[in-house]
Amino acid sequence: MPVALLIRTRLKELKLGQRDLARAAHVTESYISQLLTQKKLPPAPNRTDMYKKIEQALKLPQGQLAKLADQQRLEQLRKRLGDQPTPFLHNVRELILRKCHPKKTRQIRTIFEKQHFGELERFVTQKLLGVVKSVARQELDNPTWMRKVARLSKKSYPQMRVTVLEFLDTTIFDLSNENCIAFLNPLLESWDIDLATFCIEIVLNRRVAPGHHKTFEFMERGPDKTSGEEPGLKDFLQDPLLSGDVSEEELLFLRTLTFENKRPTPLYYYRELQSLRDPLHFQPPTKKASA
């Protein structure tokens, strides 16, 4: 059952309107309307707190909407597996270059402009997006932070909630100008990269981002580590709809999976990634007894 159909059914049974649901979920009525008319795909459950709020308002079993959303999104991904991503918007690239360390800007621009989807541009953009999304996810339930960012973006609190929810569902291949105005521009202070080691340093705006300095470093891998890489994993990594936000830690795990008589598909790795991210699949760390 589609998420929209279940929500519409429960609204009718409980004699509630879209406005009631929007207030309960802390989003705009327009956003709820677009979800119910299926003009928007339900957001990924692991990137939003909206489903819990809607389930409480509609008296639904916990986790039911999230499960349906996962199924609906997976079906949509199956339909779009053959689609080719569109080039970055000009303003997105310009913002990223403007935030680059001044001594590197000219060199990085030359590399970026050689092709629409060059490896360096994708790498840098994904890291910048990942860091900013982690801040937005961490502060999603912080009204003070949300209102501060809303003022910077000249939005109301409910509008900002919707913007954050949509932003958390964004990949590097569908970054919009609105994402740049609302998040990347106010939260990112600067970034720098060592082109020899690909160590990237990201500085966030300390006024709106806790832990304002981030550094990412990567270990060199020998040819024996990549020569036997599964074809399905390669296809998974080449598809931004499936792997657009995969982290280096998650990628290391996926590369450890080996198969003797089976050849997994890209969708297998997508599902494995979702399982890895689901806290229900892991027990909390046990506390050591004090001596």
pLDDT at 100: 92
77 contacts: CB under 8 Å, gap ≥ 6: 241, 242, 267, 270
Instruction: Give the mean model confidence (pLDDT) for residues 31-42.
Output: 86
Residue 49 has pLDDT above 80, yes or no: no
pLDDT at 221: 41
pLDDT at 217: 54
CA 249 to chain centre: 15
pLDDT at 212: 59
Task: Tell me the per-residue pLDDT of 83-103, one tens digit each, with 9 for 90 and over.
Answer: 444 445 567 888 889 999 999
Residue 7 has pLDDT above 50, yes or no: yes
Q: Which of the residue ranges 71-75, 213-217, 227-231, 238-242 would you say has the lowest mean pLDDT?
A: 213-217
Neighbours of 122 (CB within 10 A): 15
Task: Tell me the per-residue pLDDT of 228-275, one tens digit each, with 9 for 90 and over.
Answer: 567 888 888 877 777 777 887 788 788 888 777 778 888 888 888 888
**End-to-end CA distance of the chain, in Å?**
53
What is the pLDDT confidence band of residue 78, given thresholds at 50, 70 and 90? low
Instruction: Give the mean model confidence (pLDDT) for residues 122-134.
Output: 84
pLDDT at 135: 83
pLDDT at 244: 75
Instruction: Give the mean model confidence (pLDDT) for residues 185-213.
Output: 80
Report helix angle 3-14 to 64-80, nearest 10.
150
What is the pLDDT confidence band of residue 216, given thresholds at 50, 70 and 90? low
What is the pLDDT confidence band of residue 282, given thresholds at 50, 70 and 90? low
pTM for this prediction: 0.51
pLDDT higher for 210 or 83? 210
Task: Tell me the per-residue pLDDT of 142-169, one tens digit each, with 9 for 90 and over.
Answer: 888 888 888 877 888 888 888 888 888 7
Report helix angle 90-99 to 119-138, nearest 10.
80
Residue 219 has pLDDT above 60, yes or no: no
What is the pLDDT confidence band of residue 287, given thresholds at 50, 70 and 90? low
Helix (H) or strand (E) holding 191: strand 188-194
Instruction: Give the mean model confidence (pLDDT) for residues 115-122.
Output: 73
CA distance 72 to 1: 9
- Of 163, 151, 178, the closest CA to residue 43 belongs to 163
Alpha-carbon separation of residue 144 from 77, 150, 209 (angstroms): 36, 10, 12
Q: In sequence order, which ranges of 37-141 are alpha helices (DSSP H)?
A: 50-58, 64-80, 90-99, 105-112, 119-138
